[in-house]
Amino acid sequence: MISMEARLARLALKGDQRAFAEIVGLYQDKLYHMAYRMLNNRQEAEDAVQDTFLRVYKNLDRYDENMKFSTWIYRIATNLCIDRLRKRKPSYSLDAESNEHEGLDGYSMIPSDNRTPESETLLSEVQQTIHKAIDTLPAKYKTVMILRYLQELSLQEIGDVLDMPVTTVKTRVHRGREFLRKRLEREF
Amino acid sequence: MNCNVATSWIHDYLDGELPREEAIQLKAHLLACPACRSRFEQLERTEAYVQAAFSADTRSLAGSDAYNAAALTDRIIGALPTAPKKRSWTRWLRNHPAIAVASVFAMVMLSSFITMWEQHGELVVRGTDLDQVVITGNRVIVPEGARVNGDLTVENGITEVAGEIQGNLTVIDGTLNMASTANIIGEEKTINQALDWVWYKLKRTVNDLAS
């Protein structure tokens, strides 16, 4: 049986915009959360989500129905987020103090909105600490952790999305978890 | 048990992927090794906090003023091109590279044939033994009693045969007049259309290659 998403995709391909709006409805929030946690910036997250749907729409005819639709859309979204991170990636170390901007280290130069936006106040201190710690992870670990814990994908699904072997995914989850453990043990 | 193995198994356990048999061995090790036990507790706590942080995140973001889902939806739908791109022939070509290459090849061949076809007008006589062939103006004459030992090909001319031709006679874009005394041992062909001509050229190329 073909999935609901695949059915909607077929309709959208025939020019049915309402079918595509259904797909947007199914994935918009999930993608926004993911993009927000990847980029730590609301405006950029919204742009990334919009880019994702635009790319999905333009490539509907290339969607392979043997693949889960979610895998496909997450793949597009993670690639776009990683591209954005790469584009703004500073060439200097995050922890090194910049010569030009005295007193500022790399962290303060990453475009980011207020570190405690209104919604974050609903999160406990522990939760905010965790999000900050995840935000400092290198992109390849961050992506895996977000797919694992925010999207609650299985290790196999993460491997499908990122097109890498499950063993690699596992290693990244383990390293990411160790990193966070060290961070948390320092904090508490 | 080695503590490195234990660490790796702790992670597998937290991933929900440690087989029961090994989980029992791990438990035995944790009871005996305080360092690994402490590490296990820390990782278990980390895992729980991370899960809690993301689930709280989902709830808080959904109720947040800063994220206006409806506005973003409108923006997304509004930015879509009017109709999704139709399956274009270029994409079909991209998916069938062999056919694309073959058709380009065929086009080049055809155009070169057509170019050659259009280079007509000049009288061309080709053969292995032309000693007894008489050419006057655009007439090619094999007189009565003459004998051509081999093939004769005439392009763009009037061919009059009264003698004997041992091989094939081919007349391209011209006319053939045969006298009653004419005797052609081989094949005799008159070609006037481009396609016939192409076929003839191809056959000749193949024959040349074969011989």
- Give the mean model confidence (pLDDT) for residues B106-123: 80
Contact present, A132 and B52 (Cβ < 8 Å): no
Residue B78 lies in a domain: no
Q: Point out the residue among A13, A150, A155 whose CB comes nearest to the CB of B54.
A: A150
Q: What is the pLDDT of residues B49-107, one digit of tens each?
A: 899 888 887 777 666 667 788 888 888 888 888 764 555 667 777 778 888 889 899 99
Residue B107 lies in a domain: no
Residue type at B184 in one-letter notation: I
- For helices A69-88 and A155-162, the axis angle rounded to 10 degrees is 60
Q: Identify the domain containing residue B23 by its residue range.
A: 3-62
Bridge partners, residue B125, by sequence = B154
Domains of chain A: 1-90 (1.10.1740.10), 116-188 (1.10.10.10)
- What is the pLDDT, as a whole number, of residue A72? 94
Q: Point out the residue among A24, A37, A127 whose CB comes nearest to the CB of B73.
A: A24
Dihedral sign for Cα B50, B53, B57, B59, please: positive
Contact present, B15 and A171 (Cβ < 8 Å): no
Is A150 close to B45, i.e. CB distance below 8 A?
no
Residue B97 lies in a domain: no
Residue B135 lies in a domain: yes
Contact residues, A window 128-187, toward B, CB-based 8 Å cutoff: 130-131, 134, 145, 149-150, 155, 170, 173-174, 177-178, 180-181, 184-185
* ipTM of this predicted structure: 0.77
By the CB < 8 Å criterion, does A21 face chain B?
A: yes
pLDDT greater than 80 at residue B136: yes
- What is the pLDDT, as a whole number, of residue A114? 47
- Give the mean model confidence (pLDDT) for residues A104-114: 51
Is B50 close to A150, i.e. CB distance below 8 A?
no
Q: What is the pLDDT of residues A120-144, one digit of tens each?
A: 556 778 888 888 888 888 888 999 9
Q: Which residues of B touch A177 (CB under 8 A)?
A: 11, 14, 43, 46-47, 50
Q: What is the pLDDT of residues B142-175, one digit of tens each?
A: 888 888 888 888 888 888 888 888 888 888 878 8
Disruptive mutation site among A126, A149, A155, A166 for chain B (greatest number of B CBs within 10 Å): A149
**Based on the number of CB atoms within 10 Å of its own CB, is B211 exposed (0-12), middle (13-18) or buried (19 or more)?**
exposed
Token reading at B137: 């103006």
- What is the pLDDT, as a whole number, of residue B194? 66
**Based on the number of CB atoms within 10 Å of its own CB, is B76 exposed (0-12), middle (13-18) or buried (19 or more)?**
buried
Q: CB contacts < 8 Å between A and B, how many?
A: 129
List of residues 6+ apart from A33 with CB closer than 8 A: A150, B57, B58, B61
Q: What is the pLDDT of residues A46-58, one digit of tens each?
A: 999 999 999 999 9
In whole numbers, what is the pLDDT of chain B averaged over residues?
A: 84
Residue B29 lies in a domain: yes
Residue B17 lies in a domain: yes
Contact present, B108 and B87 (Cβ < 8 Å): no
Q: Sorting pLDDT into bands at 50, 70 and 90, what band is B42?
A: very high
Q: How far is Cα A124 from Cα A126, in angstroms, rounded to an integer? A: 5
Number of structural domains, chain B? 2
Bridge partners, residue B155, by sequence = B124, B172
- Give the mean model confidence (pLDDT) for residues A31-43: 91
Closest residue of chain A to B88, computed from CA coordinates: A61
> Closest approach of chain A CAs to the CA of B57, in angstroms?
7
In whole numbers, what is the pLDDT of chain A averaged over residues?
A: 83
